Chains A and B, each alone.
Chain A
Amino acid sequence: MKIIVCIKRVIDYNVRVQINREGDGVVTDGVKMSVNPFDEIAVEEALRIRERGEAEEVIAVSVGTSQSQQQLRTALAMGADRAILIETDDDMQPLVVARVFQKLVEREKPGLVLMGKQAIDDDANQTGQMLAALWNRPQATSASKLELTGDSARATREVDAGLEVIEFDLPAVVTTDLRLNEPRFVKMPDIMKAKRKPMETIALSELSIDLPTQLAQSNYEPPPERQAGRIVDSVEELVAALREKGVV
């Protein structure tokens, strides 16, 4: 069985994001970029499945500019076998990305597609579900546990009410939640080894994707600021202030 893992290049989660002067995007020049944290978890899960002997090959894929090669190299250094970059300089919204993945899935015929539950830049939480719909296959979103049992799988999903367990046939799309696993650290020799692993680049235009209508995004603005209030010196003062506000 092959596993496809989807990797998005995003602004590192520790960076305080700045809106650009034109207000039509955020500042990315000189900003640290990383693998979307949920996608790192997806890579780790794929590797563990392969290491248990339940899959033969892990393929990391990304849709984005040529710079996304850096993040694909990270996935290769973690242990993925090969990588595919679908190269484009355009803004890629989830439905387009899902259509790209649909093409790749038709080509590679994986038993499992693992991806993050959300990208921490657009916070969309859409791509995995969209791919599952286009592919007409099951989905298990926000998975915190995944067990493969031959032709089917069982996932524990983190839902608002608690933990939901579903069972589904393979192939399927599984999106990761933070508690699925803890990604391994990449070691220096692995980074060197990753340089020799195959990385294929395909121009988006070569895939003849039916490009859907995209959303127009404008007027990037900061959220309303919350003002810092006051520091009180004692529990008495805190209780008095809460009473004054009428919240207790």
Chain B
Amino acid sequence: MTKVLLVAEHDGAQLNLATAKALSCATQIGETDVVVFCDGANAVCDAAAKLSGAQRILKVSRSENAKPLAAVFAPQIAEMAADYTHILVPSTTFGKDIQPRVAALLGAPQVSDIMSVEGPRKFKRPIYAGNVIVTIDVPEAAKVVGTVRTASFKAADGGASAEVVNVSVDTDLPTHTRYIALEAHASERPDLQSANRVVSGGRGVGSAENFALIYSLADKIGAAAGASRAAVDAGYVPNDMQVGQTGKIIAPDLYIAVGISGAIQHLTGIKDAGTIVAINKDGEAPIFGVADLGLVGDLFAIVPELEKQLG
């Protein structure tokens, strides 16, 4: 029988929305338990218990689990895997760090970035920066170990009330890796990965100061702010704003790309967006090849005007 174990992502206080999205994938496969590795974190377990589709919430609370270290979580997940046919985790930097370690401990191949479930052991996933979609069959001999491309799934609804069960996993844990700090850049804006609207700026924006233009438009329409890699590399914005193959893969209802040329590595991050708007002074920019609405011109004139007219 198919039994799925989904590893929840959280920061100790809040359940990450990626978990609810990955749960939608998991429940398409079979009955799913959600495991929360934590030190306390009752609020996180309660939030997970509300997600519809989860059978049980397994709480593995021990001091070593206070921070997400792959070398610490992986042996515990591998130990719990005995009772499951499938182990899933969201394909976020959290999941990408942990899951291959689990796969190696289990001697199983890993399916990265599951974008659709074609059968209990059959999935589709993107390769070559999303330019090719390939169908994967996991042989019967192996456990299914995978990461879920969250932009491909809608978040599971709330309103349920699954049971929270305390589970102890007695595995020796390594001490060779120590968590020091997280430098999160505080932002009042919506979270890039779950926002319905995103305004992104590229190299064309020209400077960190000029990004005020992007933030201002974003705030006007309640959007998250994103960026191209070029804008991050140039130091205009922090790394956590990068959208694309090696940044965040997002699927907002509205994506406004400002001064972004539209390299394939960027486009792969926004393929599932509802409406894409491009503002670029170069009418030949590849971004116009995917944009639903394009406006050719100088962003420094267009963006303030757009903000004004949206008022």
Contacts and interface: CB of A to CB of B under 8 A. Distances in A.
A21 to B, nearest CB: 14
Given A138-B177, A242-B275, A94 B239 contact: no
B138 A215 contact: yes
23 contacts: A13-B265, A17-B131, A17-B132, A95-B104, A95-B107, A120-B245, A123-B128, A130-B101, A133-B74, A141-B96, A157-B93, A159-B240, A161-B11, A163-B239, A169-B176, A213-B108, A213-B139, A214-B109, A215-B138, A223-B132, A226-B271, A229-B294, A233-B295
A234 B182 CA distance: 43
Interface string A5-17: 0000001010011
B2 to A, nearest CB: 18
Given A17-B132, A247-B253, A139 B184 contact: no
B interface, how many residues as a size bin?
A: 35 or more
B181 A239 contact: no
Given A126-B103, A228-B290, A168 B176 contact: yes
Contacts of B277: 238, 242
Nearest to B144: A215
Interface residues of A, number: 81
Contacts of B184: 161-162
B75 to A, nearest CB: 9
**What DSSP secondary structure best describes chain B's contact surface?**
mixed
A154 interface: yes
Interface of A: 11, 13, 16-17, 19, 26, 93-95, 98, 117-118, 120-134, 136-139, 141-142, 144, 154, 157-169, 172, 177-179, 212-223, 226, 228-236, 238-239, 241-242, 245, 247-248
Contact of A124 (B93, B110, B264): B110
B131 A222 contact: yes
B128 A11 contact: yes
Contact of A158 (B93, B107, B294, B296): B93
Interface string B162-182: 000000000000101111111
B182 A134 contact: no
Contacts of A157: 93
B255 to A, nearest CB: 10
A132 B71 contact: yes
A217 B176 contact: no
A11 B112 CA distance: 20
Nearest to A93: B109
B246 to A, nearest CB: 6
A223 B294 contact: no
Contacts of B183: 162-165
Nearest to B248: A160
A179 to B, nearest CB: 6
B310 A239 contact: yes
Given A138-B177, A160-B92, A166-B69, A247 B182 contact: no
Contact of A121 (B128, B193, B274): B128
Nearest to B75: A133
Given A159-B182, A160-B92, 7 more contacts: A129-B70, A163-B183, A168-B176, A214-B109, A220-B133, A228-B290, A242-B254
Contacts of A11: 128
B136 A215 contact: yes
Contact of B131 (A16, A125, A138, A166): A16
Q: Which of A26, A122, A216 lies at the interface centre, i.e. has the most chain B CB atoms within 10 A of its CB?
A: A216
A219 B136 CA distance: 9
B132 A162 contact: no
Nearest to B139: A213
Contacts of A168: 176-178
Contacts of B70: 129, 139, 141
B26 to A, nearest CB: 19
Given A129-B100, A130-B103, A154 B93 contact: no
A160 B95 CA distance: 11
Given A138-B177, A167-B180, A125 B309 contact: no
Contacts of A232: 293-295
A169 to B, nearest CB: 4
Contact of A159 (B93, B233, B245, B264): B93
B276 interface: yes
B68 to A, nearest CB: 9
B309 A235 contact: yes
A120 B193 contact: no
Given A123-B128, A212-B108, A236-B309, A166 B177 contact: yes
Interface in B121-166: 126-139, 141-142
Given A235-B302, A247-B253, A165 B100 contact: no
B80 to A, nearest CB: 16
A133 B104 contact: yes
A176 to B, nearest CB: 11
Given A158-B239, A169-B176, A94 B100 contact: yes
